[in-house]
Structure 1
Amino acid sequence: MNTPISSIVAREKVAFIQAGWHRDIVNQLRNSFESEFSILSKKHIDFIEVPGAYEIPLQCKALAESEKYAAVVAAGLVVDGGIYRHDFVASTVIDALMRVQLDTGMPIFSAVLTPHHFHSNEEHQSFFTEHFTLKGKEVAHACAKSLELLSG
């Protein structure tokens, strides 16, 4: 894609891709992002859900190539479930998101988080619900500021 970055970020929509796993927690990030971003930007947000974090990068690439979006925000929760799998999933997803960003020139924001020793108990659920709410606000600010800086 040879479209100038300033032309990409001028588009009217932002895509928000969310992994379906641990939806109850990841929804907090999405809701927080939507609320905060609507204050910071007039861009419309399209929401897309994929099965898991591993599916985010390919969907992100498809959205970038669609030429409809100024940016893509990716959100997910990759947990350490006791099997040595989360490390390679998380690093693969983050590396692929960076590759999509650099290959397409479209800003890609990662809110794909990998907490250490997450368990589905009440204490962890409560902590990460609050943490994901904070991260939604942070990624909204990062997205809005980056779009402003890249607009030329």
Structure 2
Amino acid sequence: MTISISSQPSRIAIIRARWHADIVDRSVDSFIAEWQTTEGASPIDIFDVPGALEIPLHAQTLARNGRYSAIVATAFVVDGGIYRHEFVANTVLDAMMRVQLDTGVPVLSAVLTPHHFQESEAHIQFFKEHFIIKGREVASACRHILTERAKLLPSVTV
């Protein structure tokens, strides 16, 4: 079998929840910075959704349109006192997994759920810095999975 790796750059979609945008946007910024260190100006399209629960349907729509080599989702799911935030996070991650398995398009997660979060300056600063790290990590994971898939699937763009 011959594997042909496209010379076209990968097109990446980032879906970001707008709850706690000041924190979530840190992962987007660091993803883009990290991605561009090796991938240059390959296209990255950013899509906004209200919250984490809207991510899976948006990811499914993007995956089915065939334009994207990978989809990255980022959100900050915290305990707001109304419901158990772990249930929201589990639902979102399960649905994202189903999207990637059903469509064959990698859906990577920077959807984070802390055990405890208070709207204090110390917590906000900690999670802003943590999301910077997670953005870099998901960029590295994205690069890695696309490279590995290109070895397996002749039509995957790297």
State the TM-score, normalized to the length of structure 2: 0.87
Larger radius of gyration, structure 1 or 2? 2
CA contact 1:28–1:132 (8 Å) conserved in 2 = yes
Equivalent residues in 2 for 1:1-150, closer than 5 Å: 12-42=10-40, 43-150=42-149
Q: What is the count of residue pairs matched by the alignment?
A: 146
Aligned with 2:69: secondary structure?
A: strand
The separation in 1 between residues aligned to 2:126 and 2:67, in whole angstroms, is: 36
Cα deviation code 1:17-76 (max 9, x no counterpart): 000000000011100001001112243100000000000000000000010000000000
Which amino acid in structure 1 is aligned with residue 121 of structure 2?
Answer: E
Gaps of 5+ in 1: 1-5
What percent identity do the matched residue pairs reach?
Answer: 53
Q: Does the CA-based 8 Å contact 1:40-1:141 persist in structure 2?
A: no
1:88 deviates by: 1.2
Give the corresponding residue for 1:3. none
Question: What is the identity, as a one-letter code, of the residue corresponding to 2:101?
Answer: L
TM-score (norm 1): 0.91
Amino acid at match of 1:100: V
Aligned residue type for 2:31 = F
Q: Tell me the SS of whatever aligns to 1:69.
A: coil
CA RMSD after TM alignment: 1.7
TM-aligned CA deviation for residue 83 of structure 1: 3.3
